[in-house]
Structure 1
Amino acid sequence: MPHRKKKPFIEKKKAVSFHLVHRSQRDPLAADESAPQRVLLPTQKIDNEERRAEQRKYGVFFDDDYDYLQHLKEPSGPSELIPSSTFSAHNRREEKEETLVIPSTGIKLPSSVFASEFEEDVGLLNKAAPVSGPRLDFDPDIVAALDDDFDFDDPDNLLEDDFILQANKATGEEEGMDIQYVWFVSKQR
C-alpha cells in the first residue's frame, strides 16, 4: 500500500497560540469570584531575524531559539483582539455568555477566558491601599500622637539593654518549679 500523506493535526499557518496570564488588576472582573483569574492573551508571531536583531539591540547575543526579550516587554492588552462577531450561547442553567470568534482561525471561545475590553483607571490594589497623608477623620489626639517625634529624654520611652531577660524573668513560684524539674530530670538519669 502506498503511504498516504497524513493531514496534520494542527495546521501551523492557521494555528493561534495564547499565553495564560493573570487578569489585570484594572480589569473590572478581577474582583468577580465567578470570573476566571487567568485569561488568554494571543501571542504575536515575530520573524526570527527580527527577534534576533532586537535582541542584539538590547545586548542579548545568545544563539538559540529562546525569546529573552519576553521578560523585558509588557504584555500587550487584549485590545488587539478584534472579534469578527459576537454570539450568545445558552447554557443548561439559562446563563448567557458571549462567544468571541478569533478572525484568523474561526475559533469560538467564551468571552470570559479573555480580559475585559475596558479597564478601570485605578487598579484593584490601589483602591484598597490606605490613603497617604493627613487623615481628617482621625481623632485629633491620635493624629497628634502619630505626628509627635520620639522623646528620647523620657525614661519611660527607653528600654533597658537586657529588656528580654527582664521580660522573661520568672516569678518566685516558677523558679521553684524549674529547680524541681531539673532535680527530677537529673534523678532519672
Structure 2
Amino acid sequence: MSDKSERRKRIRREKRRQRRKERSFRRTVRTIFGWLLSVLIAIVLGYGMVSYCFQSVYVVGDSMNPVCTNQEKVTVNKLCYLLSSPDRYDIVAYRSVDTPDAYYDIKRVIGLPGETVQIRDGKLYIDGSERTDLPFDDYIFTAGLAENEVKLGDDEYFLLGDNVNNSEDSRFLKVGNVKKAEILGRIKTR
C-alpha cells in the first residue's frame, strides 16, 4: 500500500509542478502580449498625433519676419481648425490645393469669410473701416488685388505676411483668397 500511496503522491506532485509550469508559461505569454499591445497602441497614438494633430514645417522666406524667420522650424496645430475656424491675426500654414506638392507657406489671417478687404493709401480696410490694430505697422506699398475691394466667400480667408512689403500673399493672383480646406493649421510662435 505504501508503494501505491507513494506513487500517487509523486503523480500529484508531478501534476502540480506541470500546472505551475503551465500557469507560469501563460503568465509570461500574457505579459509579453501586454507589452506588445502597449507598444502597438503607443505607435498608433504617435502616428495619429503626427498625422492628425501636429506637424513640423519650415518657414521658407522672409515674409513673416520678425515673428518667423527663414528656415525656422515651427509646429502646426492641425487639430484646432477641425472644431473651429481661423480667427483674425492667427498665423497659419497653408498650401494651395492646385499645387499639392509645394511646401506649406506661413501667413497671417487678415480677412475672414464674408468680409470685404481693400488696401488704400498704404492702409488696410475691412468692410470699409481702417484697421489700426494690425500686428505690423508698415506702410503697404503694393495693394495688388486688394487695390479694389476683395469680397471673401463663405470659406475664404485673406492672408498677409507680417513683412508686408516682402511677401507674396493674398494680394497676388498666385495666392489669392485661401480656402479653409487649404489651411493646414495654426502656427504656435515663440
What TM-score bracket applies, with the shorter chain setting the length?
under 0.3
Q: TM-score, normalised by structure 1?
A: 0.22
- Structure with the greater alpha carbon radius of gyration: 1
More strand by share: 2
